[in-house]
Amino acid sequence: MACGIAILGSTGSIGRTTLRVVSWLGEEYRVVALSGGRNWEELAKQAQQVKPRLVATAYPEVVEKLTHALEDTDIKVAVGGEGLDEVASHPQADIVVSAIVGSAGLLPTMTAIKCGKRIALANKETLVMAGGLVMEEAKKSGAEIIPVDSEHSAIAQCLAGHRREEVERIVLTASGGPFLGYSRAQLEKVTPEEALKHPKWNMGDKITVDSATLMNKGLEVIEACWLFGLPQDRIDVVVHPQSLVHSLVEFADGSLLAQLAVPDMALPVQYALTYPQRTTSPIEPLNLLEVSSLQFFPPDEVAFPALGLARRAVETGGTAPVVLNGANEVAVEAFLAGKISFNAISQAVEDTLGILDAGSAENIDEVLAADFEAREVARGAVGVLEREKV
Q: What spatial distance separates the first Cα and last Cα of the chain, rounded to whole Å?
A: 61
Helix (H, G, I), strand (E, B) or coil at 8: strand
Query: Cβ closer to ligand NAP: 378 or 385?
Result: 378
Instruction: Say which DSSP state 358 is in.
Output: P
β pairing state of 167-174 and 245-251: antiparallel
For position 58 contacting ligand NAP by CB under 6 A, the verdict is yes
For position 130 contacting ligand NAP by CB under 6 A, the verdict is no
Near ligand NAP by CB under 6 A: residue from 54, 95, 101, 235: 101
Applying CB under 6 A, the span of 34-42, 234-242, 300-308, 320-328 interacting with ligand NAP comes to 34-42
Host H or E run for residue 217: helix 215-228
For position 53 contacting ligand NAP by CB under 6 A, the verdict is no
Q: Which residues contact 242 (CB under 8 A, 6 or more apart)?
A: 291, 293, 294, 295
Site residues (CB under 6 A) for ligand NAP, limited to 359-378: none
Near ligand NAP by CB under 6 A: residue from 13, 213, 281, 352: 13
Nearest distance, CB of residue 273 and ligand NAP, angstroms: 15
Residue nearest to ligand NAP (CB): 12
Q: x/- binding map, residues 238-277, to ligand NAP, per CB under 6 A? A: ---------------------------x------------
Counting Cβ atoms within 10 Å, is residue 229 exposed (0-12), middle (13-18) or buried (19+)?
A: exposed
Counting Cβ atoms within 10 Å, is residue 277 exposed (0-12), middle (13-18) or buried (19+)?
A: exposed
Return the percent helix, strand and coil in the chain, to nearest 5: 50, 15, 35
Nearest distance, CB of residue 373 and ligand NAP, angstroms: 19
Judge whether 79 and 60 are in contact, CB under 8 Å: yes
Nearest distance, CB of residue 56 and ligand NAP, angstroms: 9
Question: Which value, in Å, is the radius of gyration of the alpha carbons in the chain?
Answer: 20
Q: Which residues of 35-51 are buried (b: 16+ CB within 10 A; e: fewer)?
A: bbbebbebbbebbeebe
Peptide bond into 276 cis (omega under 30): yes
Nearest distance, CB of residue 111 and ligand NAP, angstroms: 13
For position 201 contacting ligand NAP by CB under 6 A, the verdict is yes
For position 204 contacting ligand NAP by CB under 6 A, the verdict is yes
Query: Cβ closer to ligand NAP: 70 or 122?
Result: 122
Near ligand NAP by CB under 6 A: residue from 4, 5, 6, 14: 14
Query: Cβ closer to ligand NAP: 123 or 319?
Result: 123
For position 124 contacting ligand NAP by CB under 6 A, the verdict is yes
Query: Cβ closer to ligand NAP: 37 or 52?
Result: 37
For position 99 contacting ligand NAP by CB under 6 A, the verdict is yes
SS (H, E, C) 60-122: HHHHHHHHHHCCCCCCEEEEHHHHHHHHHCCCCCCEEEECCCHHHHHHHHHHHHHCCCEEEEC
Near ligand NAP by CB under 6 A: residue from 111, 123, 157, 341: 123
Nearest distance, CB of residue 172 and ligand NAP, angstroms: 12
Applying CB under 6 A, the span of 9-17, 185-193, 254-262, 378-386 interacting with ligand NAP comes to 9-17
Measure the CA–CA gap between 356 and 49, rounded to whole angstroms.
47
Near ligand NAP by CB under 6 A: residue from 37, 83, 131, 321: 37
Query: Cβ closer to ligand NAP: 14 or 31?
Result: 14
Query: Which amino acid is located at 117 in the chain?
Result: K
Nearest distance, CB of residue 150 and ligand NAP, angstroms: 6
For position 147 contacting ligand NAP by CB under 6 A, the verdict is no
Q: Which residues contact 109 (CB under 8 A, 6 or more apart)?
A: 8, 88, 96, 98, 100, 119, 121, 123, 126, 134
Residue 388: Cβ within 10 Å count: 11
Size of interface with ligand NAP, in residues (CB under 6 A): 26
Query: Cβ closer to ligand NAP: 125 or 350?
Result: 125
Judge whether 138 and 110 are in contact, CB under 8 Å: no
Kindly list the residues in this chain that would bind ligand NAP in the complex (CB under 6 A): 9, 11-15, 36-39, 58, 99-101, 104, 122-125, 149, 201, 203-204, 206-207, 265
